[in-house]
Structure 1
């Protein structure tokens, strides 16, 4: 499908800015993105038919990502609804003990997010354990949330979650490659989270008796949770299958390199195998339904972001951005993390931010000679720097999970950003300058 028009760069910027402003004004993100794309296209010289073509082409470009996100829903549903994630969290915290409580809480949230659970849900799962440990060890709520949120951010950049899938497919690389590329930045992020939480453990309000009064009544009883061995089947199966192709490439094993096991096949398969291993085969339908429900909003945002991406790629904006950066003598490599940071901050969402950054600035980033994998890693880590602002749901979900007032929750923003910027800096140094 040919558009037959190149939209003016300034009109593309107006459309993008309008979409961001409408999101900040709490209009539905999908409608905000679609409206921004339509207004930008018409202002930029496209007629009504050409505008529709721009939206269709843009939306078609994200279909592959949508399919993989839906596949990831099956994995997320099994991990969250079966109790597997709870088992992993409790095991990590129990094995490491009170002496390493802060590290254990950050690691538990990192692991749970890394195996495919959404970061807000991961914090919700670990929060009761964190509050109990905080009360026992006299660790402040501020420190606890920094540990949980920081660990979750570290896990989020190495997970088969929608944000990682969007980063991978936005630049045409394998999901497993992005997960591997962001592993070292994730370790640095985990270390920063633990360091900050340790320094803050005596700052902020303490965990009160009423904060944990209802935990026992609401918590899932240990006897109702799957065993650790069965809980590990789903994530281990997914990780092994996703890594077969990269391992084959590294060790030149032809049969592995020719497998081409895409996340579209791997994630649902791992979910089914894991559910059967836990003896929950009869609940697969409800797990799938739950996972699909959680992915619906992401898929709709993907369509909207695809539309705004179609506007940007069919405009002169990418070429203008390249020229501007060249004239300013700033490294074009920095466009990758900066675009991720700005778009995620605007949307207060890692997934939406990464989708917008890849769709809007992907062409310009690659235009500087940045390798696709490097671009994906830098945009992705940029997406977790300030994605936790108050106009997003993560801010409020985590505040409720930790029984924190808005003012106290706001104190956490700076420390969470330090964790995110650590990951982004490490990724940029590794892939942008070496």
Structure 2
């Protein structure tokens, strides 16, 4: 975005800090971000007309991401509302059996998240299965949630979810590039989650027989068969991978057939609904999916506003100069931005949106390639995105019926998983590729 004027970096930093404080104080993130942009603009020396131009230009810059997330709502609605995600989770756990329980639970959550289900919803879906397995095997709730949350984090960085779309949009990439780019870090994250969960599986509060009995009462829903449940994600994955596979095989026609996720995800959702025999539910699925996407869309609009302020200011240049003067490699700016913004907002998607919207230009100006920057920012956002001032902490705690003390114990292990994925991404994309 062209700078409207040289807004002082102090104003941009003050606006960003104010927005984060307001979010921590539970003001709606969209209002917090827009208010931060306005106040920061005034502090930075802008007048009323210039601030309006900054807000409009900044919010216009994120419209590509917004429309893709709206389109993804069709896909997410089908997967979440039809029972397809539950079917996939149950089959994975049943097939792998109790001896590989931690692996099966982590893998199930990873796959459910990877096929486009939000991580809090994925944990809600797999939690009853995990509690049932935990009761039979005598495993602790802490270990079970480590497996679920770790698998969910791994799946989240290779999914067509809002955070991945935002990471791609922030660095002007196709979403499938970011999904593929996160695969190796995700596999490391899955491995560490399973190892940690296995090491502590008998430590902590156990699942009681009474809780297990309640789960049996609630598990009477009729879910679709696996063959039908897989139609939606398979169509999406195949279509998203056409162009990358064509590039790898040297097939020019396939490589040039770059079909955007804007078209692929709604198409997969509609065809999946038909395969499930739910054509009369398509409108309901679309509505439910859009409702789930709306909070993220509103946050993106606010992030566009604060991003407009930062882009129009001298802050990016100051950040690059500071990195160069410190002797620290510019490679680290991307993961640090992801870590800090996700920690401040306790949300992967919001953290990625803020990090890319505010610092993408500064990151690229250090010489980091766009794909490398996107993957490192994305993985960085998984390190401390599970703090108590966010919804995920409480949704996952309630899903597992945990005490606050046990949930805080899980947070430490979650950070270890996120750090693992971030370190792998830095090594791969910062120093090898």
Shorter-chain TM range is over 0.9
Indicate the SS of the match to 1:433.
helix
TM normalised by structure 2 equals 0.99
Per the alignment, residue 174 of structure 2 pairs with: 174
Per the alignment, residue 147 of structure 2 pairs with: 147
TM normalised by structure 1 equals 0.98
Indicate the SS of the match to 2:415.
helix
CA–CA separation in structure 2 for the residues paired with 1:304 and 1:246: 33
What does the per-residue CA deviation read over 1:101-128, in whole Å, with 9 as the maximum and x for residues that have no partner?
A: 0100000000000000000000000000
Aligned length: 432
Q: Report if aligned partners of 1:73, 1:295 keep a CA contact under 8 Å in 2.
A: yes
Residue 412, structure 1, aligned to residue 394, structure 2: no
Change in Cα spacing, 1:202 to 1:64, as seen in structure 2 (3 Å) is same
Shift of 1:3: 5.7
Indicate the SS of the match to 1:214.
helix
Per the alignment, residue 428 of structure 1 pairs with: 426
Residue 241, structure 1, aligned to residue 239, structure 2: yes
CA–CA separation in structure 2 for the residues paired with 1:272 and 1:4: 43
CA–CA separation in structure 2 for the residues paired with 1:113 and 1:251: 28
Shift of 1:299: 0.3
Change in Cα spacing, 1:213 to 1:161, as seen in structure 2 (3 Å) is same
CA–CA separation in structure 2 for the residues paired with 1:61 and 1:385: 27
Per the alignment, residue 93 of structure 1 pairs with: 93
How large is the Cα RMSD of the aligned pairs?
Answer: 1.0
Per the alignment, residue 14 of structure 2 pairs with: 14
2:397 to 384, 396, 399: 399
Residue 199, structure 1, aligned to residue 196, structure 2: no
CA–CA separation in structure 2 for the residues paired with 1:263 and 1:4: 32
What does the per-residue CA deviation read over 1:167-214, in whole Å, with 9 as the maximum and x for residues that have no partner?
A: 001000110011001000000000000000001101110111222232
Indicate the SS of the match to 2:16.
helix
Structure 2 spans left out of the alignment, 5+ residues: none
Shift of 1:331: 0.6
CA–CA separation in structure 1 for the residues paired with 2:289 and 2:3: 36
Per the alignment, residue 36 of structure 2 pairs with: 36
Per the alignment, residue 288 of structure 1 pairs with: 286
Change in Cα spacing, 1:172 to 1:220, as seen in structure 2 (3 Å) is farther
Which residues in structure 2 correspond to 1:208-357 (within 5 Å)?
208-221=208-221, 224-357=222-355
Shift of 1:258: 2.4
Residue 72, structure 1, aligned to residue 72, structure 2: yes
Indicate the SS of the match to 2:313.
coil
Q: Report if aligned partners of 2:168, 2:174 keep a CA contact under 8 Å in 1.
A: yes
Structure 1 spans left out of the alignment, 5+ residues: none
CA–CA separation in structure 2 for the residues paired with 1:10 and 1:115: 41
Shift of 1:95: 0.2
Shift of 1:220: 4.3
**Where does structure 1 differ by over 3 angstroms across 4 or more consecutive aligned residues?**
1-4
CA–CA separation in structure 1 for the residues paired with 2:315 and 2:140: 47
Indicate the SS of the match to 1:360.
helix
Q: Report if aligned partners of 2:4, 2:312 keep a CA contact under 8 Å in 1.
A: no
CA–CA separation in structure 1 for the residues paired with 2:342 and 2:386: 9
